[in-house]
Structure 1
């Protein structure tokens, strides 16, 4: 079993989408199931409806999963496991107040040392350990030996006991911390491989320590993906528009193109343009670079243009607001100058919109409009053009400029002859 474990605390980040894509691909390759686990234990940060939005995005990208759970559903298991750790003396109650801990952090900071729990409550008398009147957290005892992580991307990494520390597993209000809930849920889900961002690397030894303390013997594989950088070479954050999957979709990028780009990003792929389904045949976690990858909007736009070309005409027509194969063919002509749906839609809409004609061509355009509306049907553009010239008496710039404006709604663009092939059945609607 593999899992994708997002938090419903904001818009889906492209880094999270990449994690979801990789989990889906590897689950398919291994013939294992994919679980979606909504990590909603941080009630103060949860945003209503974000869990459904996450699932909708997964569906839009064709990421299939077998089950969905909310982490909060497992609260009773988290509490049971914490009690077991206390009984087995692998955990202890900590009565240190937030103010006391903050003071100790400040002391460590002034000494230019990392803060480590000072074991103040590690060996309290038994009557205090079972005290239920004063607020207390539960901490996992610091492991006695180093925890080694064998990462499929980064290799072997060792964490000393002091790096793991005696961290809190249950808050004073008796809700689990992220690392404890995650470790328990990975056990309950029988997870075989965890693929996630490298910002979770420091969490991994803590989660392994929890499972070791609970006597869980199944070995779990890990793969931590390098972070994605913005144009400035810094970690992509919520301040970067392109970090939001919703923003990219609104900007007119196709799900298939975004998936293509994220799989290709920092990876060795046999070709540059491909579909998610095609990647199942050759994707390999070990081929992913260990170094961070820079997000390149120009590259994404190029890939998006290629995916727009891959659409059949009728499907492309629907993307630009129509349902006609001929309009889809017109849209394909405009792909010479448009790379996103946001760029493409206005060009198609301008064809059917009320035309704005410069004053110097107003009279000529009106003459042409009447001739076009009265003209018989012509299969070829040459015959059509010849008829218009004869009936209007216009030629040169006074003919071609207003004709282009009437048929395309723009002064510049594709050859009018190329557009006419697909627009000849719509002339009455276009020049009305």
Structure 2
């Protein structure tokens, strides 16, 4: 079984989504189940409703799970594991206060040496501290594991001193709960961010101490850098999956982009289903990858192009296929649904003829041409071909060249340049009474 283990403490980051995608793909490739484990043990930081939001996003991206569990539901089992470790002298109670440990850390800092917990400190403050923590005894031998991306990694005993597995309130720490749950649900392979590399030897030590013999597979994904070249933070809007969706990026395009980051793919544009055929986690680059919003925009445009008019209409929240067809024409200059909605919004909004376009005013010509077009529309005159429509409007308005074409485009699209009117007209002609409106006039 493979798992994705999000924490309900904030918005889903694209790095989290990338890990979820890879775990899902590998589970399908191996014919194993895909588990979602909500890691809700940090009660002070949990945000109400975030778990539901995370699950909704996973569902939207087609990352459907076979099982769903909440880590807090296993607290009793975690404590039983801790009792087993204490009973077999593989874990012990530590009565050190936070103040005592802070003092020791400062002493190490002053001496310019790494801070290491000393097991001899465990009962020094036993009389003063009625709420001890439980620590797992550190390793006396190196712990190594093979990472499918980074290769063989090894950690030495001086890097693994005795660490806390149960807090003073009896709540398990992240590493302990994680290691126990990976045992409970028989996890076989784990894909997660490289910020977890230092956690992995601790989790392996926990499982070994519990006499768990299974060797898990690991792949730690390189960090994602922002456009500034620094690690992407919550301040980077594009790091939020919800923000990307709100901007009008398609789930399938985001999946395509995240799978392709730092990866050699056989094709440039593909779906999640396609990736199941050829994805190999070993092909992911070891170095950090930079998030490129321009590249995502290109990928998104390519996925929008693949949609038919009916599918496009539904994404624009209408069943009018003509609107979908009209929207697709704007893929020449737009790459997200929001940008296309903005273009369509200009078409169906009252036109502002008081502003200048490229430094020129066309107000007089717009008013003159508006009267002609409105008259043609109200009389029910039908011009199927753009050329015949254009020639008749030019003839009746007596406008020529730029003085005709700029006002025509402004009145029909709300802009002074863009997609060829010859391409737009076959769709616009059905909505002239809705389109031909001037701002400020009834």
Give the structure-2-normalised TM-score: 0.93
Name the structure 1 match of 2:358: none
Which residue of the partner structure matches residue 418 of structure 1?
A: 423
Q: Could you say if the C-alpha distance between residues 120 and 368 of structure 1 is closer, same or farther in structure 2, counting changes exceeding 3 Å?
A: farther
- How many positions carry a matched residue from both structures? 428
User: Quick check: 2:348–2:434 contact (8 Å CA) kept in 1?
Assistant: yes
> Aligned partners of 2:231, 2:370: CA distance in 1, in Å?
56
Kindly indicate whether residue 374 of structure 2 is the aligned counterpart of residue 370 of structure 1.
yes
SS at match of 1:342: helix
CA contact (8 A) 1:9 1:45 kept: yes
Residue 283 of structure 1 corresponds to 279
Residues in 2 aligned to 1:408 and 1:378: alpha-carbon distance in whole angstroms: 18
Matched, 1:428 2:433: yes
Which residue of the partner structure matches residue 168 of structure 2? 172
Contact 1:201 1:224 in 2 (8 A): yes
- Sort the Cα spacing of 1:224 and 1:344 in 2 relative to 1 into closer, same or farther, 3 A: same
State how far apart, in whole Å, the 2-side matches of 1:357 and 1:387 are. 22
Q: C-alpha separation between the residues in 2 aligned to 1:371 and 1:389?
A: 13
What CA distance in whole angstroms lies between the structure 2 residues aligned with 1:289 and 1:207? 25
Alpha-carbon shift at residue 140 of structure 1 (Å): 0.2
Per mean C-alpha deviation after superposition, the further-off stretch among 35-44 and 149-158 is 149-158
| Mapped contact 1:93–1:121 kept (Cα < 8 A) | no
Residue 397 (structure 1) shift:
2.9
Q: Which residue of 2 aligns with 1:194?
A: 190
| Deviation for aligned residue 1:319 | 2.5
Answering whether residue 236 of structure 2 is matched by residue 240 of structure 1, we say: yes
Partner secondary structure for residue 345 of structure 1: helix
For residue 52 of structure 1, report the CA deviation from its aligned partner. 0.4
Please give the root-mean-square deviation of Cα atoms over the aligned residues, in Å: 1.8
2:343 corresponds to which of 343, 347, 355: 347
Partners of 2:121 and 2:269 in 1: CA distance:
58
Matched, 1:360 2:356: no
The whole-number CA distance in structure 1 between the counterparts of 2:338 and 2:409 is 22
Output one character per residue of 1:331-376: Cα deviation in whole Å (capped at 9) or x when no partner.
Answer: 1211111112222211011111111124233422332332331242
Matches within 5 A, 1:119-268: 119-121=119-121, 134-268=130-264
- Partners of 1:106 and 1:312 lie apart in 2 by 65
Out of 224-233 and 99-108, give the one that drifted further: 224-233
**2:309 corresponding residue in structure 1:** 313
For 1:95 and 1:256, the matched residues in 2 are separated by 52
Gaps of 5+ in 1: none
Tell whether the 8 Å contact from 2:370 to 2:411 is kept in structure 1 after alignment.
no
1:399 CA drift (Å): 2.5
Q: Distance in 2 between matches of 1:362 and 1:388?
A: 12
Q: Distance between the aligned counterparts of 1:138 and 1:154, measured in 2?
A: 32
- C-alpha displacement of 1:300: 1.1
3-state SS of paired residue (1:157):
strand
Q: Distance in 1 between matches of 2:245 and 2:185?
A: 32
Runs of at least 5 residues in structure 2 that lack an aligned partner in the other structure: 355-362, 438-442
**Following the alignment from structure 1 to structure 2, what is the Cα–Cα distance between the partners of residues 372 and 117?**
87
Deviations 1:296-354 (A, max 9, x none): 11111111111111121122223334322221121121111111222221101111111
Please list every run of at least 4 consecutive aligned residues from structure 1 whose deviation after the TM superposition is greater than 4 angstroms: none
Aligned to 2:55: 55
